[in-house]
A and B are shown apart, each in its own frame.
Chain A
């Protein structure tokens, strides 16, 4: 019972001083809000980038095109060579005919265009689709395959996707910088808010010390005040995150630019992100108030 009583008192005191120092509290809350909105966008963007990078990497394939004059025996020779390469995980063989059928089934345009070509004038080639074990060595593996006799060209990855992932990575770094800067400003503002509360209650704190309040009892209201500031500051970011992401997801129908870049489904993703945002808000508030208490309440 006693801890609950003390907690109740602390929360009541904390709420009172948030209201009493309203303008400074509002400054702290606004700063937390801005920080958390950026953090939220950062979190969602980087999780999405991570998600589709992984998806793309998972089915990153080396496509090996055989020369037009390659015979069935040549194909078997090529297969043997591919098998020897250690980084190759598995491969599948597709004849031009299979490819043609697959393409025709995917698109009406391809269907009519491809039907105009006879078997031997088709621009399509027999291919091997090779999956590698280690994605980082895909370039070396592709070069090795290219050197095999009767292999015409080798393709892997998608340049566009590659560039985009890199761009995201640099945007992420800048975001980190901004977020760290904003968190520092926020902590500074919270320290000042709590400092004001502490000085407004100097006399009370002195009496508390005299009558034997424990240090925790004295500090708790201020720590809770910081946490309340953090909590209040995370309301708008949570709303922005939840509704914003829903709208974003719907607007793009779950995909960005191409079928390749798939967005994370809003549920339960937005709830997890919201929890993370609230937690960060409260934590930043707590860190701010804890350092204020340490600095201005030498007990």
Chain B
């Protein structure tokens, strides 16, 4: 079954730049997909349309049966509860501890305290940070901070995890650590992962599905793809 269906999608920004041209895609539940392409090729735009940060100017974006393009502003939160999002810059709250940062995602949606505790500890275990629960983000390495962000993204058991250059700020070693975490989330939790990146090494090593964008056009969608210019 397809978790995501993109039909004839075009995204033209207000300044006249067209970031995506006539895109058609179907992504299966449980898959791990890389989105690659040069700078400005439209990777972030594609990801943003999936979590309804941007609306397509034409076509349909369907995520888990929900027509995202038609979703009213007031209802966006319903989509967001079904997915997790990770960015290059971690976006943690510096005044909260690791535990509190992850718990924040559940508090915001009114989850019960004891359920929060169970889910947060499980998520932190999954990213290998159970021993840093009471640290503040500033005392963690970049890789660890990113793992906290991943824990926050998966704590509500989303069907879909969107990552926009999650390893962009990390050295190759830490990047591979993040990739192992993501891979195990994909395998053990069955979470569908879509990750935009331009890290060739990672793409080549992981042997996952690869969507290649060039100047807003889909040029390739390969199973077990590699990074080829």
Contacts and interface: CB of A to CB of B under 8 A. Distances in A.
Nearest to A208: B108
Contact of A212 (B73, B74, B80, B93): B80
B187 interface: no
Nearest to A298: B73
Interface stretch (A70-78, A213-221, A245-253, A255-263): A213-221
B156 A211 contact: yes
A215 B74 CA distance: 7
Given A203-B93, A204-B93, A206-B91, A211 B108 contact: yes
B161 to A, nearest CB: 12
A102 B122 CA distance: 94
Interface in B69-83: 73-74, 76-82
B16 interface: no
A6 B81 CA distance: 16
A210 B80 contact: yes
Contacts of B108: 208, 211-213, 217
A207 B91 contact: yes
B64 to A, nearest CB: 13
Interface residues of A, number: 20
B81 A1 contact: no
B18 to A, nearest CB: 25
Interface in B101-130: 104-105, 107-110, 112
Interface in B41-94: 51, 73-74, 76-82, 85, 91, 93
Contacts of B11: none
A9 interface: yes
Contact of B152 (A6, A204, A211, A217): A211
Contacts, number: 53
Interface residues of B, number: 22
Interface in A249-299: 299
A209 B80 contact: yes
B116 to A, nearest CB: 10
Given A6-B110, A208-B108, A214 B91 contact: no
A82 to B, nearest CB: 71
A214 B77 contact: yes
B107 A212 contact: no
Contacts of B105: 207, 211-212
Nearest to A215: B74
A5 B51 CA distance: 27
Nearest to A5: B110
A213 B109 contact: yes
B229 to A, nearest CB: 33
Most buried by B among A3, A203, A207, A212: A212
Contacts of A166: none
A55 to B, nearest CB: 54
A215 B93 contact: no
A163 interface: no
A2 B115 CA distance: 13
Nearest to A217: B108
Contacts of A208: 108
Interface string A195-211: 00000000110111111
A206 B51 CA distance: 13
B78 A212 contact: yes
A9 B109 contact: no
Given A9-B107, A207-B104, A212 B81 contact: yes
A207 B86 CA distance: 11
Contacts of B79: 212
Given A203-B93, A210-B80, A211-B105, A217 B85 contact: no
B93 A210 contact: no
B85 A210 contact: yes
A2 B110 contact: yes
Interface string A1-15: 111011001000000
B27 to A, nearest CB: 21
8 contacts: A203-B91, A204-B93, A207-B91, A207-B105, A208-B108, A211-B104, A213-B77, A215-B74
- Ranked 10 nearest A-B pairs via Cβ: A212-B80, A212-B81, A213-B108, A211-B105, A2-B110, A212-B77, A214-B77, A6-B110, A208-B108, A211-B108
Given A206-B91, A217-B110, 16 more contacts: A2-B110, A9-B107, A204-B93, A207-B91, A209-B76, A209-B77, A210-B80, A210-B85, A211-B80, A211-B108, A211-B109, A212-B79, A213-B77, A214-B77, A215-B77, A217-B109
